[in-house]
Structure formats: structure tokens, C-alpha cells
Amino acid sequence: MAAKVGSGGDEGDGGVGVSAAEVSVSGSDASGASAAGSGASASSESLGYEQARDELIDVVRRLEAGGTTLEESLALWERGEALAKVCRRWLEGARARLDAALEAEG
């Protein structure tokens, strides 16, 4: 499995990627894998940055660990993409706020 789940972009263009080797994750059981698909992306829009990031880290860990069916892996991948999008939106919003504050100062 790939070591990164992200937006498909590289870090230079604002892509979000998380390597499980770089982070630690609280444990979760494999039974949540099938629930990671369908209705999950609607709820991801209301997540804060830290919540989305932590869940993304967990998704990456589970994908890297293997042992899931193809369907479970696809559901996890889709959830990871949705979480990466949430993280990217939060980071873009923070960047815009910082830019606005710096522009107001100078």
C-alpha cells in the first residue's frame, strides 16, 4: 500500500499527505472500516481540523496495515480523500486569514 493518502497534489501545491510513519494514532478496531464509506463524507464537513487530521491518520494506518477486503480498502480510501479535503479547506482558510491580517498591517 502507498505511504500517503492525500489530495493527489504534492506539498508544493498545497496537497495534504499524511504518512503513518510520521504520526501516532489512537487505536480503533477494524469493524469501522465498512462504516467509513457511504454516509461518512457528509459528516466530515462538520469536523474541525484536528479531528479530521486524526481520523485521516487512523485511515492511513489501517490501509497500511492491510488485512482488509478490497471493498473495505476502497471505503477507507474514499474516507481518507474526504478527510484530506476537509483538512485542505481548513488550511486554506487559515492561510487566507493570515494573508488578510498581514495585508491589513502593511
SS (H, E, C) 12-63: HHCCCEEEHHHCCCCCCCHHHCHHHCCCHHHHHCCCCHHHHHHHHHHHHHHH
Q: Which residue has the higher pLDDT, 52 or 33?
A: 52
| Domain limits, the chain | 48-106
Q: Is the pLDDT of residue 8 over 70?
A: no
> How would you label 92-101 residue by residue, b for 16+ Cβ within 10 Å and e otherwise?
eeeeeeeeee
Q: What is the pLDDT, as a whole number, of residue 75?
A: 98
Average pLDDT, the chain: 73
Q: Take residue 15 and report the three cell numbers written for it.
A: 496537497
Q: Is the pLDDT of residue 16 over 80?
A: no
Q: What is the pLDDT, as a whole number, of residue 96?
A: 97
- Percent over 70 (pLDDT), the chain: 60
Residue with cell 485542505: 88
